[in-house]
Amino acid sequence: MRNALRVPLALAALAVAVLLPVAAGPFWTGLLTQMYVFGLLALSVDLLLGHAGLFSLCHASFFAVSAYTTAILQVRHAVPTALAAPAGLLAGTLLGLVFGFAVRTRGVYFILITIAFGYVVWGVAHRWSSFTGGDNGVTNVPFPDVGAVRVESHTEYYYLVLAVVLLCALGYRLLVASPFGLTLRGIRASETRMRSLGYHSGLHLYAAFVVSAALASLAGVLYVYYNRFVNPVAASFPISVEAALMAIIGGTGTIVGPFIGSMIILWLRNWVSSFFELYASVMGLVFIAAVLWAPQGVVGLVGRLRARLAGAGSG
């Protein structure tokens, strides 16, 4: 019965997503676009956190490097979107190939190394002002224009982002359900046992890190075309923390969880910051509440409530 409802619910959610810009104003359309972009960033973090058991805090680096590469090529060198966007994606992924050697460590050492990597990229973005623009960043990034696909408004860009995110979610679903995804979860459960069975855990974790970096880089490309500029804030430590927080609050190890977490965090950011300066304190309280009362995130909490209702109904 539950599986039978999944398709109608998915179709209903898709219909709402398609029709929302018509009913909502520009503000909500823009906010939803950001939710999709940061949801994709959170999904990239969750590939490591929810499936491989690695807590990365450097994903803002891939996000920012891809955004900077795309923006600099488009604005300063007039490179067309068809080349600038793939170059941004490639730049972030190549950085992931370098940072991926962090998987040689585990636990708190992995976390500390990823934090250090993130600060290196943020420092470069902040200090190398002749190339990155410093605090002013790179501005006046045009909307994407690829052949017949020409975006001329934020509403049109909303639909482009929605289509890209849906394709990524479908690909992600196939990935985590594949033998590769099952191997990652096996490594998370018992790396020693997987090694004894002949699996090269380090190679699998490295591949997962690179794929995760590629997803974060794609989110960075989508972000810079929406925001129309990029500055060192995109590479900052809070962005990496928020991405991980989105995955945890929504529900790790799921596809919809990171997007739910993105909606919650971005809605709180816009709502709380409008009348309360200590926004970070509120985010800390939200995280504490999630860990104490919903350790499996919103998706896990809904699942437990559904199981209780089903048990009460059968009793």
Tell me, what CATH number does 223's domain have?
A: 1.10.3470
pLDDT of residue 34: 95
- Please give the average per-residue pLDDT across 172-189, as a whole number: 96
The type of residue at 93 is T
pLDDT of residue 99: 97
Mean pLDDT of the chain: 90
Any domain includes 7 = no
- Residues 61-72 as b or e (16 or more Cβ within 10 Å = b): bbbbbbbbbbbb
Any domain includes 11 = no
The type of residue at 85 is A
Q: Are 258 and 172 in contact (CB under 8 A)?
A: no
Asked whether residue 195 carries a pLDDT value surpassing 70, the answer given is yes
Domain that holds residue 290: 24-314
Encoding tokens for residue 63? 């996000």
State phi, psi for 89 to the nearest 5 degrees. -60, -40
Any domain includes 9 = no
**Cα–Cα–Cα angle for 50, 54, 55, rounded to 5 degrees:** 90
- Please give the average per-residue pLDDT across 266-279, as a whole number: 74
Any domain includes 154 = yes
Asked whether residue 79 carries a pLDDT value surpassing 70, the answer given is yes
Counting residues of the chain whose pLDDT is more than 90, the rounded percentage is 70
pLDDT of residue 276: 64
Please give the tally of structural domains in the chain: 1
- DSSP 3-state of 231: coil
Nearest Cα residue to 230 out of 78, 39, 74, 26: 74
Encoding tokens for residue 204? 């699998």
Asked whether residue 1 carries a pLDDT value surpassing 50, the answer given is no
Any domain includes 10 = no
- DSSP 3-state of 146: strand
For the chain, how far is it from start to end, CA to CA, in angstroms?
A: 18
Any domain includes 173 = yes
- Please give the average per-residue pLDDT across 214-243, as a whole number: 96
pTM over the 0.75 mark: yes
Asked whether residue 18 carries a pLDDT value surpassing 90, the answer given is no
State phi, psi for 53 to the nearest 5 degrees. 75, 25
pLDDT of residue 11: 81
pLDDT of residue 103: 95
Asked whether residue 4 carries a pLDDT value surpassing 60, the answer given is no
Nearest Cα residue to 63 out of 49, 43, 77: 43
| CA atoms of 97 and 100, how far apart (whole Å) | 5
Encoding tokens for residue 159? 């639909």
- Please give the average per-residue pLDDT across 238-254, as a whole number: 93
- DSSP 3-state of 97: helix
